[in-house]
Amino acid sequence: MLLTALVISALVFVGALNATFPLRRTKLKVPSYLVGWITQELYWAAILLEAGLLYGVGSRQWPTTSAMFLPFVLLAAGTLLLNLLFCVNMNLMHARVGRAITSSVQMPLVMPRRRDDRHGSWWRTALMLSPHPRSMRLDKDVVYGPAERNRLDVWRGPQDLKDAPVLFFIHGGAWIVGDKREQGRPLLHELLQHGYVVVTCNYSLSPAAVWPAHIQDVTRALTWVKNTIEEYGGSPDRVVISGMSAGGQLASLAALLGNDTPWRPSDLPVDTDLRVRGCISHYGTLEMTGDDTVWRRHGHGLRKLLSEQVMCVSPTEQPEVYRAASPTYAVHPTAPPFMVIQGSIDSLVDVNVARDFVDRFTHQAVAPIHYLELPLTQHATDLTASPRTSATTRACVAFAHAVTSAPATLPAEILAAYQVPPATLRVDDATGTVDVRVWAERHGGGFVLTAHNPNSVLTDPGVNFRREMQLRRQLDDLGLNYSLSTRVSSSDWPDERGVAITGIDVALARSLSEAWGQHAFYDVSPEAVVVRRSRDAAVIR
């Protein structure tokens, strides 16, 4: 009995140690990941097993003088401590994730409470299962293209929908395996219960298909969503795209490229708007070159996989192919909002890949980005309905709600107050504070916007100041020329500090204004001051 207990404890201890410090630079990387993934997800089973072994050995009153007794006790204690660490980490995740998403100055999110879950429940979390809701309507294997795997599923709740938000989900699997029905169920089911239309798609896989067939299929499926989802009650203007691992790379690339994608199949209509409202990347492979600095010298396996099975070209011979496939290098100022979720000890995608992407996005894009770095978390750990998955699911729900919510309809008196006059715009120019038209004559026009009072809701002065300073830092990062401005309202609305920017186009001005939660911004020329709506840059009359 004692020898058996010792062997079992040793195996479980090694598994827990591997789950804490996974191997990353050897040929055992993938087996190490699999063992670590199972160990972390089944921490409760390891605790019960070790407790049972301790009880069994103790109940038989084995003599403490046995040479095996002390090693057994030490291994059992180590196993229990490591697995209790996993347990505590899992159950603290809700608070950690909540702090991460509420700390954003630009777009703070409200973390849903556990009681607000519509599909996730205590018994599903305890069983680590996420079965389809009984009331779910499923349209299976809808054809969206000519290839064999050009099939998608549409998930809907029992209610009749109209203009509902849409989640378009792309599975992972290293571009060589995977299926649209295998991944992301806790998140997809929760959004389904919140009134979303969910679309999941298959796409061509390697080695039978060579890059860029994968992203071409995703582009084709997104085109189908944009042109057809109204028939299922969804809104083509309220689409959030998401994916896991390789799917995170594909989703991020599609979101960043939008209508500028070079991979739009030639048989698709060119006038379909492929822009999305936001992107959620779960442990996505956001850098595809395997750069040693970004991957911290863990990218050899990725380069080998891509060169031999996916790209079928060497990264040294055609580096531009790998770089073009990397979302990291596709970040641009008008990119949509992002949420990036990454485990800190991911064996397959180094955590620094996500950190590098977030850093580039923060300094190159104007939209908000939320980064959830999950401590002691491996790759693909949200396949099961664990407490950690419940926490990240709630964060994703909050993000999806924020980016797809319709802007408030403002009363006529507030719309009228935007006009100049009755409002007054003044700019701090080199010679002092001048009227905005004088500033426009000197600089050839520009745009005036603010970060104060998002969504036309009066905000604490301290919060407004922090938002103003963050906006100015963002403009500095982008290398834009701006002056400080003040909007003085003729009504009881307080003065709003903002910025007057030159050298940008209306698309970037619109993105900035929308990113900072504003209903409108000013398009200023020496001849006129025009009020434009942030949502679409249309003129407000």
Percentage of residues in the chain with pLDDT exceeding 90? 75
For 152, the enclosing helix (H) or strand (E) is: strand 151-156
Q: Are 153 and 144 in contact (CB under 8 A)?
A: no
The length of the chain, given as a count of residues: 541
Using pLDDT thresholds of 50, 70 and 90, give the confidence band for residue 416: confident
Q: Are 381 and 40 in contact (CB under 8 A)?
A: yes
pLDDT of residue 70: 83
Residue 379 bears catalytic tag: yes
pLDDT at 340 over 80: yes
Exposed/middle/buried for residue 141 (C-beta within 10 Å: 0-12, 13-18, 19+)? exposed
* Interatomic CA distance for residues 432 and 281, integer angstroms: 46
pLDDT at 256 over 70: yes
pLDDT of residue 262: 94
* Interatomic CA distance for residues 191 and 385, integer angstroms: 14
Q: Which residues does residue 281 pair with via DSSP β-bridges, in sequence order?
A: 243, 340
Residue 471 CB neighbours (<10 A)? 24
**CA gyration radius, the chain:** 26
* Interatomic CA distance for residues 169 and 154, integer angstroms: 10
- Greatest Cα-to-Cα distance within the chain, rounded to the nearest angstrom: 96
Average pLDDT, stretch 69-80?
A: 88
pLDDT of residue 127: 67
Q: Are 279 and 336 in contact (CB under 8 A)?
A: yes
pLDDT at 290 over 90: yes
pLDDT of residue 455: 87
pLDDT of residue 436: 94
Give the distance from CA 283 to its chain's centroid: 9
Q: Of 12-16, 181-185, 372-376, which has the strongest mean pLDDT?
A: 372-376
pLDDT at 314 over 80: yes
pLDDT at 27 over 90: no
Using pLDDT thresholds of 50, 70 and 90, give the confidence band for residue 65: low
The 8-class DSSP code of residue 539 comes to B
CA dihedral 45, 48, 51, 56 (to 10 degrees): -100
Q: Are 377 and 388 in contact (CB under 8 A)?
A: yes
Q: For the ranges 42-56, 94-108, 466-480, 495-509, which has the lowest average pLDDT?
A: 42-56
Terminal Cα-to-Cα distance of the chain (whole angstroms): 84
pLDDT at 207 over 70: yes
According to DSSP H, which parts of 405-460 are helical?
A: 412-418, 436-443
* CA 502, 506, 508, 513 torsion-angle sign: positive
Give the distance from CA 308 to its chain's centroid: 29
Average pLDDT, stretch 201-230?
A: 98
* CATH 3.40.50.970, applies to 136-287+327-404: no
Q: Are 366 and 512 in contact (CB under 8 A)?
A: yes
pLDDT at 423 over 80: yes
Average pLDDT, stretch 395-421?
A: 85
State the catalytic residue, choosing from 153, 217, 291, 346: 346
State the catalytic residue, choosing from 245, 326, 485, 511: 245
Q: Transcribe 220-286 into DSSP letters.
A: HHHHHHHHHGGGGTEEEEEEEEEEETHHHHHHHHHHHHGGG-TT--TTS-TTS----SEEEEES---
- Average pLDDT in the chain: 92
Residue 507 CB neighbours (<10 A)? 11
pLDDT at 61 over 70: no
pLDDT at 382 over 90: no
* Interatomic CA distance for residues 75 and 68, integer angstroms: 11
Contacts of 538 (CB under 8 A, 6+ apart): 532
Average pLDDT, stretch 349-353?
A: 97
Place of tokens 């860029």: 212
pLDDT of residue 107: 94
Residue 245 bears catalytic tag: yes
- Does the predicted TM-score (pTM) go above 0.75? yes
Using pLDDT thresholds of 50, 70 and 90, give the confidence band for residue 131: confident
Q: Are 243 and 407 in contact (CB under 8 A)?
A: no
* Interatomic CA distance for residues 269 and 462, integer angstroms: 48
Average pLDDT, stretch 60-88?
A: 84
pLDDT of residue 26: 67
Q: State both tokens at 135.
A: 């009331």
State the catalytic residue, choosing from 282, 379, 443, 519: 379
Question: Where on the phi/psi map is residue 434: left (φ > 0), alpha (ψ -120 to 50), or beta?
Answer: beta
Q: State both tokens at 443.
A: 């600089």
Residue 282 bears catalytic tag: no
Contacts of 266 (CB under 8 A, 6+ apart): none
Q: Are 6 and 68 in contact (CB under 8 A)?
A: yes
Domain boundaries, the chain: 2-92, 136-287+327-404, 412-533
pLDDT of residue 57: 82
Average pLDDT, stretch 504-520?
A: 95
Q: Are 440 and 430 in contact (CB under 8 A)?
A: no
Q: For the ranges 63-77, 138-152, 524-538, which has the lowest average pLDDT?
A: 63-77
pLDDT of residue 409: 74
Q: State both tokens at 506.
A: 């209306």
* Interatomic CA distance for residues 355 and 343, integer angstroms: 11
Q: Tell how strand 496-502 and strand 481-488 pair up.
A: antiparallel
* Interatomic CA distance for residues 421 and 330, integer angstroms: 41
Question: What distances in angstroms separate CA 277 from CA 20, 131, 354, 358, 399, one per listed residue?
Answer: 36, 28, 20, 18, 10
Average pLDDT, stretch 71-85?
A: 91
pLDDT of residue 63: 62
Percentage of residues in the chain with pLDDT exceeding 70? 98
Q: Are 379 and 343 in contact (CB under 8 A)?
A: yes
